[in-house]
Amino acid sequence: MVNMDASTFELKKFVIARAEHGKDLIQFVKRLAEERDIEAGTFTAVGALKRATIGFYNQDSHEYQEMEINAPREMVSCIGNISLKDGEPFVHAHVVLADDSGRAMGGHLVEGTVFAGEIQLKILEGPKVERKHDEKTDLSLWKFGENDESHNQ
């Protein structure tokens, strides 16, 4: 029995990139994906943000509560992925940000203005991964396409 909520991929390429100062981190990764025709990938990033908006998904109201952080923060950790939504690369990232006393807060990265950022991106090759509306959570969750035999070797 095949688990339809999981799929296997080949590592196609490993890209490292310097995020552009003053750009939005999510948009920067999205553009990277568009320019390189990346349909599936995972990434991590470290660096610093000038400001950010992070979200918390309220599981009762099914809405994101947004928190604005209008001050510089260390981007202690950022973990994300790229998949397809409505046929376009969609970037999903979570972040931990620390202030000048080392205190951290984190959440779903809505937007974050880059001060400096180093991105390590794994480009994956395999079945299509598309985000589709999920009834239970009201979120756009992954649906995996059929595994092409050539990717199962």
CB of 140 vs Zn ion, minimal distance in Å: 10
If the CB atoms of residues 80 and 127 are measured against Zn ion, the closer one turns out to be 80
DSSP state of 142: E
> Per CB under 5 A, which region of 34-42, 79-87, 102-110, 133-141 contacts Zn ion?
102-110
**Cβ within 8 Å of residue 22, ≥6 positions away:** 50, 113, 114
DSSP assignment of 84-133: EETTEEEEEEEEEEE-TTS-EEEEEEEEEEEEEEEEEEEEEESS-EEEEE
30 scored as a contact of Zn ion (CB under 5 A):
no
| Position with the least CB separation from Zn ion | 108
131 scored as a contact of Zn ion (CB under 5 A):
no
> Per CB under 5 A, which region of 81-89, 103-111, 122-130, 131-139 contacts Zn ion?
103-111
Q: In the block, which residue shows the tokens 């059929």?
A: 146
108 scored as a contact of Zn ion (CB under 5 A):
yes
**Which amino acid appears at position 92 of this protein?**
H
CB of 74 vs Zn ion, minimal distance in Å: 20
The binding site for Zn ion (CB under 5 A) comprises 108
